[in-house]
Structure 1
Amino acid sequence: MSAWDDLPVVRTLAELTGLVEQRQGGLYVRWSRGPEADLAEVSSTDELTGVPMPGLSANPLDVEDWWQDRSVRLWVARRLYDYSHLPHDKGPGVRPWVLAGEESGRGPDNEPLVREVRPLCHLDDRVIEEAREEVTRQEHEWGPLRRGAHG
């Protein structure tokens, strides 16, 4: 049995939105092969330089104050959608999972580096599909964050 099997599964965007609303801070989503692989060292590596970083690279799910009273569902959908390309880019077994923790710094893309990691759940593929649908319904064209090849 793996750590994936031990974690609860969030099956809908509404369920994840409820978790974000309930927790009031300190939630992140990480796209990786899971807690079992990540928690051995609790350190991400800068892909460009190979430098180890003081925490796991993750993306915050917490709603920023400037978002005001806008839809938390849309906020969460966008946070997922922005990085939904990672399973394709990073290979088989990469999935999103939600964790709580403390920021220990910032990575090269200004992403939080998180330590004192507590895995909470992993996300069913349906949650990502719902996030994609939510973002697609918006008036403005938007795509996931992705770096193209330079040169």
Structure 2
Amino acid sequence: MRTVILLLIAFSLNSLTAQIQYGTPINDQLPEKLKSVRRAIEVNNFPKTIDPIKIDKRYYWKHNTAILCKESEIKIIEYGAYLFYNDIWNHRKSYPLKELNKNFGTKKEVVKQSEPYTWSQNWRTDSSLIGGWAMWYFIGVTEDGETICGYEKIETTDKLLN
């Protein structure tokens, strides 16, 4: 009986971890929300591939994210992140616009023409050492009322640096 219970527990745990399949996104694969919006906001993450470090009992994938619009001044109306698993981009979170002002240094969510804004401590943190793919996205409106977007992928690894 004890063996049967242990096998059931092992099978259940294996089933739970097997349900999420991390893979590599195809270059032109996008979430529905971004497919029909013109890409005019430049988004850059540095570095593009992020190896974690361990501090106390947590893992940190340290990187920064910068945004810029060369065409015109824009007002950001939404920003957030997607995670790639099970062969699609899954919406992780949309952030409150107040946080854009705090983290990127914008005022009233406005990105001035050709002025870069950088969130220098845009770090992923977790208690588990799991790599994968994320995509930061930004949706804005131009002075002419056109909705535009920008996005950039980053890869987080499970290759611990320390």
Normalising by structure 1, report the TM-score: 0.28
- Which protein is bigger by CA-based radius of gyration? 2
Q: Which has the higher helix share?
A: 1
